[in-house]
Structure 1
Amino acid sequence: MICIDSIVTDPYFNLAAEEFMLKHSKEDVFMVWQNEPSVIIGRNQDVQAEVNLSLAEKKAIKIARRSSGGGAVYDDLGNVNLTFIENSREPDFSKFSDLMIDFLSTLGIHAEVDARRGLTVDGLKISGSAQSIFGGRILFHASLLFSTDLALLNSILEGKEGALNNLSETRKRSYVKSVKSKVANVAQFLSESMQIDEFKQLILKNFLGQDATNRLYVFSEEEKAEILRLKEKKYSTPSWNLWQSNLAGTYSVNFKT
């Protein structure tokens, strides 16, 4: 398995990197990454229904749409994202949740899996996840809240009431509504304090050590160029992220890179 420690905090680049590795790499992949303040919505979600757009505008919080399903999440530099990509014809996504639980146990944290493959500690959610399949490859990604601004998280994930009424019947049928949960940061469950950079490196060390053949991997210049092209063509565009063209003209500040 190749292990990628992404130093890029641009959500559009990181989402493009996931898709690129899913579709163009033949190896199993593990990637650990962080985003600057942003809301990441699921493939079949509506921005107005999921996000407090006025607050996002005020705080210059980016809006990004991923290619997997599931609900909306808030990212900032207080959380860490994990991506697993594997060759598989018989997906078993639960094993990735188990791997995360095993890692957290090394820190003295007892986490459990909920019905949507999120992780909870003492009934409080510390991680959400989503999945996608492409050909014979599967992708599972999850966000671990470590020292995230939870007050902002709760405020930004409040969409406009009645926004779903404006959707077409086709989109309503495929729509995935976010499920609200009480959340907590991993940091509050640690017996000894640590910084998020240390937490991130412990994650990377843990998964590198899962197998003797695992190795650190850095994108080549050619791969970075392809990822940037995918970002510009898809992930950083209002047409992909907003769906509704009438929003694109009034809500564009958060698509600056």
Structure 2
Amino acid sequence: MTKPFRVIDTGIRGCREQMAFDQALIAGHKAGTTPDTVRFLQFPPSVLVGRHQAISQELNLDACRVAGVGIGRRITGGGALYLDEGQFGWELVFHKSTLGLTNLGDLAREICEAAAAGLSRLGIDARYRPRNDIEVDGRKISGTGGFFDGDTIFYQGTVLVAMDGAKMASLLNIPAAKLAKRGQTSGAQRVVTMTELFDGNPPPISEVKAAILEGFAERLGISPVPGEILESEEAAARAIFDEEIGTDDFVYEIDDPSHPADVISARHTGAGGTIEAHLRLEGPRQDRIREIQFTGDFFVTPPRVIPDLEAALRGLAVDDAEAAVAEFFAAAGVGLLTAAPSDFALALKMAAENRP
């Protein structure tokens, strides 16, 4: 028997407003007032960093401000994005028992393959590429990410219908190494749009959304049903915007932690993404962790696990950190999308080795 999913569309809203609505849906679902839901959304020109990213490392903030684009922070991990009316977002909020998947990697594969199957109905060869992309001929048409929050799963993605590649490149600091491993030289070269695939005449966005819903229905065994946005969801989104996600404190809370003179940093790139460790040491031999911050485009579920890990490591001897990281993840029961506890421990170790 198929499982009903309410389908809603919040249209074009500011990027921080859309992120606040994400959190409102999660809170409502956990409270039992929001049903399993598919949401579509669009943005005015905006840049978004991932939940764990250092914002000034990922964005050309001066260029963003001159361009007048919205600047926000997602509640999911992953990398920085440029979005405008030429793209749209899709997301699912549902109970983990609905699809019977309890591993974030398996969840990403199933949802991405379903979205790819939907896009392929339009006549393109869309395919899932681990860990969280959907590509056509090796170029990304959709990036995705998500997490578990208790029994609630939140998973989201985008579809590139049209894009101003030059504008994207001017606003995002895309590491050359990230492009080089795919044989590319620019962020615009890495992505492909529906407009390009259809020789300047892409299907209407409404048809693309319908195709994705068909893919979800066929591959995930759900029944999408048009529905209404609840007033309680709108009210919760407004409160979350005002109190947290819409504030500069939230958006800029993770900036460039490597800037202070006493911070030592290192970057480790593994199968699960890039993890940077920013470390302050203390003690006569500078061998104890005073503070540690992890940033990067990795996915961890739920996102609050990273601040908890950082707190657990404070005051420990550097030599004890590797075992402490392993013990923390074993006890916390968190979900990692390809990244392993050893990746965090290695980034920390590399940073410690850079001490004077």
TM-score by length of 2: 0.59
Structure 1 residues 209 and 117, CA, compared in 2 at 3 Å: closer, same or farther?
closer
Residue 6 of structure 1: SS of its match in structure 2?
strand
- Other-structure match for 1:114: 129
- Other-structure match for 1:164: none
Higher deviation after alignment, 109-118 or 211-220:
211-220
Per the TM alignment, residue 201 of structure 1 is displaced from its structure 2 partner at its CA by 4.7
Of residues 61, 65, 71, the one that matches 2:69 is: 61
Please report the RMSD computed on the Cα atoms of aligned residues, expressed in angstroms.
2.8
Structure 1 residues 193 and 116, CA, compared in 2 at 3 Å: closer, same or farther?
same
- Other-structure match for 1:226: 236
Q: What code does the residue aligned with 1:158 have? A: N
Per the TM alignment, residue 202 of structure 1 is displaced from its structure 2 partner at its CA by 2.9
Per the TM alignment, residue 206 of structure 1 is displaced from its structure 2 partner at its CA by 3.2
Deviations 1:12-41 (A, max 9, x none): 221111111122124221111111111111
Does structure 1 conserve the Cα–Cα contact (< 8 Å) formed by 2:126 and 2:136? Answer: yes
Length, aligned pairs only: 229
Q: Which runs of 5+ in 2 are unaligned?
A: 176-186, 257-356
Map residues 20-39 of structure 1 onto 2, 5 A cutoff. Answer: 20-25=24-29, 26=32, 27-39=35-47
Does structure 2 conserve the Cα–Cα contact (< 8 Å) formed by 1:38 and 1:76? Answer: yes
Does structure 1 conserve the Cα–Cα contact (< 8 Å) formed by 2:90 and 2:157? Answer: yes
Of residues 192, 202, 221, the one that matches 1:194 is: 202
1:145 pairs with 2:155: no
Q: What code does the residue aligned with 1:190 have? A: F
Q: What code does the residue aligned with 2:147 have? A: S
Per the TM alignment, residue 198 of structure 1 is displaced from its structure 2 partner at its CA by 3.5
Structure with larger RCO (C-alpha < 8 A, sep 6+): 1
Per the TM alignment, residue 109 of structure 1 is displaced from its structure 2 partner at its CA by 0.7
Per the TM alignment, residue 203 of structure 1 is displaced from its structure 2 partner at its CA by 4.4
Structure 1 residues 121 and 231, CA, compared in 2 at 3 Å: closer, same or farther?
same
> Following superposition, which runs of at least 4 residues in structure 1 exceed 4 angstroms of deviation?
207-213
Q: 1: CA distance between counterparts of 2:171 and 2:232? A: 36
Q: 2: CA distance between counterparts of 1:204 and 1:217? A: 17
Bigger-Rg structure (1/2): 2
Q: 2: CA distance between counterparts of 1:114 and 1:205? A: 20
Fraction of identical pairs, as percent: 22
Q: 2: CA distance between counterparts of 1:19 and 1:56? A: 25
Per the TM alignment, residue 218 of structure 1 is displaced from its structure 2 partner at its CA by 1.9
Per the TM alignment, residue 100 of structure 1 is displaced from its structure 2 partner at its CA by 0.9
Structure 1 residues 103 and 84, CA, compared in 2 at 3 Å: closer, same or farther?
same
Q: What code does the residue aligned with 2:242 have? A: E
Q: 1: CA distance between counterparts of 2:223 and 2:213? A: 13
Higher strand proportion: 2
Deviations 1:150-185 (A, max 9, x none): 11112211279xxxxxxxxxxxxxxxxxxx671111
Structure 1 residues 232 and 200, CA, compared in 2 at 3 Å: closer, same or farther?
farther
- Other-structure match for 1:250: none
Q: What code does the residue aligned with 1:23 have? A: A
Of residues 177, 183, 194, the one that matches 2:191 is: 183
Per the TM alignment, residue 205 of structure 1 is displaced from its structure 2 partner at its CA by 5.7
Structure 1 residues 111 and 245, CA, compared in 2 at 3 Å: closer, same or farther?
closer
Does structure 2 conserve the Cα–Cα contact (< 8 Å) formed by 1:239 and 1:245? Answer: no
Q: 2: CA distance between counterparts of 1:37 and 1:67? A: 19
Q: 1: CA distance between counterparts of 2:223 and 2:139? A: 36
Per the TM alignment, residue 244 of structure 1 is displaced from its structure 2 partner at its CA by 6.0
Of residues 71, 78, 88, the one that matches 1:70 is: 78
Q: What code does the residue aligned with 1:124 have? A: R
Deviations 1:124-169 (A, max 9, x none): 1111111111001111111111101111112211279xxxxxxxxx
Per the TM alignment, residue 118 of structure 1 is displaced from its structure 2 partner at its CA by 0.4
Q: 2: CA distance between counterparts of 1:30 and 1:106? A: 19
